[in-house]
């Protein structure tokens, strides 16, 4: 899986948390500065109650359930699972400051007191599990919204079970003011991590904890999605295209660098912040993204072997979705998190969905109990969990209320057969 902003890498992990009868709340901040920086729009009104959704209206049956929230309410946190333990990495808190907190949820004891921290407070970082003990934390931003934000080019390794073993790994790229903003990262079948930013590529070896020398590419990677197909091939999807770039490019990894190959198929538009996930050794599902600042509801299926592109089912998500998290389940590919974009402004998406390629259909899932963007997504074999996030609501006199949500809810899908 990949991510461009990766939230996740669109990473998948599992957590079925310690369940408490907790009612969600919000930590409120008055003012519009945060909304201007995140370019947030007005969110929906009151929070709807958790509910089970019927089959009618082409909605897959599922139910949201309240879960115990983390010790610190955060938005834009990274999420992963290590050895059945859920981890939230960084994010920003109610005071709009990036946090270094690494929050751990034990499958039996629930959320533990915060005893682990990053070396650098950061939000919106890419978090990739290297094994059952280590997390690779890439980029993001540090500081305080909206005027004291620094984009990070630094990378560190975190071991939540051994907090004293936190350490940096030198970035393979020269540091600039933009940091690693707009980068993409993905994991190869052998466990190595590929990082792309602008026209540079480097590979991280988890055994030696070292990066390869950076390679210069003849293509651009900014706000693109990347997926690995096989041991030595990447597919780069959309983003900000440079001169001569096709919307879809294959990159073949070689000992002396990477070789680009444009796909001649031109049916797919150039999209920023699309989500992608490998389906098998050659096929990739691409979901949503933004075209000229407006999110898109379409899906696409890429075949790296034949370099063919065909449209998939259109998502039943009003206004489309960008920067979503994708998760493969026994029911299909879940499309969760992310945001709707209206002329570049992010607002909460219309809701999650499930893509069932064997039926060439996409069905709605129930709307979450609270509407938010920049949520952390934890995944499990039976569904997903949505933690925290941010919401802005417009108010009179050009003022507004921004909230970092003290909230967590899990979505469980019901195993039924749906007749078309």
Give the tens place of pLDDT for each residue, 351-408.
999 999 999 999 999 999 999 999 999 998 778 999 999 997 665 444 456 789 999 9
Alpha carbons 270 and 402: distance in angstroms, whole number: 32
Whether cis (ω within 30° of 0) applies to the bond prior to 30 is no
Question: Of 9, 310, 32, 48, whose CA–CA distance to 185 is shortest?
Answer: 9
Residue 392: its pLDDT value, please?
79
* pLDDT above 90 for 47: no
Alpha carbons 287 and 313: distance in angstroms, whole number: 10
Say whether 165 sits in a helix, a strand or coil: helix
Alpha carbons 305 and 307: distance in angstroms, whole number: 6
Helical residues (DSSP H) of 235-377, grouped into ranges: none
Per CATH, which fold does 7-413 belong to? Neuraminidase (2.120.10)
Residue 337 burial (10 A CB sphere; 0-12, 13-18, 19+): buried
The pLDDT confidence band at residue 45, using thresholds 50, 70 and 90, is very low
The predicted model gives 305-319 an average pLDDT of 97
Q: pTM for the whole thing?
A: 0.86
**Terminal CA-CA length for the chain:** 30
The predicted model gives 210-236 an average pLDDT of 96
pLDDT tens-digit map of 238-287: 999 988 899 999 999 998 778 899 999 888 999 999 999 999 999 999 99
341 contacts 393 by C-beta, under 8 angstroms: no
Sequence spans of domains, the chain: 7-413
* pLDDT above 50 for 49: no
Whether cis (ω within 30° of 0) applies to the bond prior to 407 is no
pLDDT tens-digit map of 67-125: 999 999 999 999 999 988 999 999 999 999 999 999 999 999 999 999 999 999 999 99
Strands (E), 67-161: 78-82, 85-89, 101-106, 110-111, 116-117, 126-129, 135-138, 141-144, 148-151, 155-158
* pLDDT above 50 for 218: yes
275 contacts 288 by C-beta, under 8 angstroms: yes
Cβ count near 24 (within 10 Å): 16
Residue holding tokens 């984009």? 151
Residue with more model confidence, 391 or 325: 325
Longest dimension (CA), the chain: 60
Beta strand 257-262 with 248-254 is antiparallel
What proportion of the chain, given as a percentage, has pLDDT over 70? 83
What proportion of the chain, given as a percentage, has pLDDT over 90? 75
**Cα atoms in the 13 Å half-sphere on the side-chain side of 93:** 18
The pLDDT confidence band at residue 419, using thresholds 50, 70 and 90, is low
Least confident of 49-53, 96-100, 113-117, 178-182: 49-53
Residue 169: its pLDDT value, please?
97
- DSSP label at 270? P
Mean residue pLDDT across the chain? 86
**Structure tokens, 208:** 């030696």
């Amino acid at each position: 899986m990949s991510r461009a902003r990766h939230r996740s890498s669109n990473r998948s992990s599992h957590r079925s948390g310690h369940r408490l009868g907790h009612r969600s709340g919000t930590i409120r901040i008055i003012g519009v500065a945060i909304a201007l920086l995140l370019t947030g729009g007005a969110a929906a009104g009151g929070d709807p109650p958790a509910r089970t959704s019927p089959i009618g209206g082409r909605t897959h049956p599922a139910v949201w359930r309240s879960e115990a929230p983390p010790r610190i309410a955060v938005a834009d946190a990274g999420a992963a699972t290590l050895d059945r333990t859920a981890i939230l990495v960084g994010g920003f808190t109610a005071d709009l400051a990036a946090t270094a907190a690494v929050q751990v949820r034990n499958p039996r004891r629930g959320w533990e007191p915060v005893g682990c921290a990053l070396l650098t407070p950061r939000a919106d970082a890419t978090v990739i599990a290297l094994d059952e003990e280590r997390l690779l934390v890439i980029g993001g931003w540090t500081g305080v919204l909206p005027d004291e934000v620094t984009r990070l080019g630094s990378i560190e390794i975190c071991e939540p079970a051994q907090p004293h073993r936190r350490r940096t790994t030198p970035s393979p790229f020269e540091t600039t003011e933009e940091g690693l903003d707009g980068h993409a990262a993905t994991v190869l079948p052998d466990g190595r991590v590929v990082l792309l930013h602008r026209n540079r590529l480097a590979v991280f070896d988890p055994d030696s904890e070292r990066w390869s020398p950076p390679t210069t590419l003849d293509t651009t990677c900014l706000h693109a999605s990347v997926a690995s197909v096989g041991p030595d091939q990447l597919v780069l999807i959309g983003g900000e295209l440079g001169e001569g770039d096709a919307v879809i490019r294959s990159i073949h990894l070689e000992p002396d660098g990477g070789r680009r190959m444009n796909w001649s198929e031109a049916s797919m538009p150039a999209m920023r912040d699309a989500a992608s996930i490998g389906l098998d050794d050659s096929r990739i599902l691409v979901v949503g993204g933004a075209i000229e600042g407006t999110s898109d509801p379409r899906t696409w299926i890429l075949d790296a072997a034949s370099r063919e592109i065909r449209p998939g089912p259109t998502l039943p998500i009003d206004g489309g979705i960008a920067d979503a998290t994708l998760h493969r389940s026994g029911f299909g590919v879940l499309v969760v998190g992310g945001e709707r974009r209206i002329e570049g402004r992010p607002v909460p998406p219309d809701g999650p969905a499930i893509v069932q390629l064997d039926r060439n259909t996409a069905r709605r899932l129930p709307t979450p109990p609270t509407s938010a963007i920049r949520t952390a997504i934890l995944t499990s074999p039976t569904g997903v969990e949505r933690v925290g996030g941010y919401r802005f609501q417009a108010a009179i006199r050009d003022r507004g209320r921004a909230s970092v949500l003290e909230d967590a809810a899990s979505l469980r899908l019901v195993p039924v057969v749906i007749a078309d």
